Amino acid sequence: MDDGSTTHLAAVIAAAGLSRRMGRPKQLLPWGDTTVIAAVARSLSQVGAAPVICVTGHRAEEVAAAVAGTGAVIAPNPAYHRYDLLSSYQAGVRWLLENADHADGIEGALLSLGDQPHLPASAIARIASQARRTPNRLVIPSYDMRRGHPMVLPRILWVELLALPADDTLRTLVNRHPDCITYINMEDNAVLLDMDSPTDYERLRARFGGEMETNA
């Protein structure tokens, strides 16, 4: 799915975490006909993001195997055991900048969580479409005045992202640029939800059915 714009987007999936609260790798849990992480990668590909970069750390070989049929490329996060989300986004953006043949012409990166398989491609497409119309702006989905994921980080802010200390958060960068943000108001709270615990996982499966959206 693409809106026909000449603005190209990549995607970076943070999938390196230890899943301590879940008790097992949440990226590898079943979701519909596949796994949580493969469902996320598929949806990002459906909206025309390319490349889709899956950042791995804990159980890296298994996560890489899970996305093998999705077209995603793998970028390791060697700091995953000490730091979490921000360091994974940094690893993915750094991979883009170090692989110019993949990054050429890309003007933004969809920064995605590895545990939001319930988001339909149609919802992600709204975010991507806005980013393609406003390539130099942060594009963030929101519900009830709360920021969600995935968000689009424009290329002009990639170097600033990489300059953040790995123990900082993405919020620091976002809060520096309030006048550079375009919010996309979503109809429900799906963009706020992820799965940190077994209860979260079962709640999302009960609500969304664990099924992939086939026609976005």
Residue extents of the structural domains in the chain: 8-205
Is 6 a residue whose pLDDT tops 60?
Answer: no
At residue 105 the predicted structure's pLDDT band, cuts being 50, 70 and 90, is confident
DSSP string, 83-111: --HHHHHHHHHHHHHH-HHHHTTEEEEEE
What is the C-alpha to C-alpha distance for residues 205 and 11, in angstroms, rounded to an integer? 24
> What pLDDT score does 216 carry?
32
Q: Which CATH number fits domain 8-205: 3.90.550.10, 3.40.50.300, 3.30.360.10, 3.40.1440.60?
A: 3.90.550.10
Q: Which of 6-10, 96-100, 107-111, 128-132 has the lowest mean pLDDT?
A: 6-10
Asked if the peptide bond before residue 141 counts as cis, ω within 30 degrees of 0, the response is no
> What pLDDT score does 213 carry?
43
113-127, pLDDT tens digit by residue?
999 999 999 999 999
Average pLDDT over residues 88-96: 96
Average pLDDT over residues 1-15: 76
Kindly give, in sequence order, each residue whose CB lies less than 8 Å from that of residue 126, ignoring residues fewer than 6 positions away: 141, 184, 186
133-176, pLDDT tens digit by residue?
999 999 999 999 999 999 999 999 999 999 999 889 999 999 99
Please give the torsion angle defined by the CA atoms of residues 167, 52, 98 and 113, in that order, rounded to the nearest 10 degrees: 0
Kindly give, in sequence order, each residue whose CB lies less than 8 Å from that of residue 173, ignoring residues fewer than 6 positions away: 153, 157, 160, 161, 164
Compute φ and ψ for 10, nearest 5 degrees: -100, 175
Compute φ and ψ for 117, nearest 5 degrees: -70, -15
Is 214 a residue whose pLDDT tops 70?
Answer: no
> What pLDDT score does 215 carry?
34
Q: What is the pTM of this model?
A: 0.92
> What pLDDT score does 81 carry?
84
Compute φ and ψ for 209, nearest 5 degrees: 80, -5
36-91, pLDDT tens digit by residue?
999 999 999 999 999 999 999 999 999 999 999 999 999 999 988 888 799 999 99
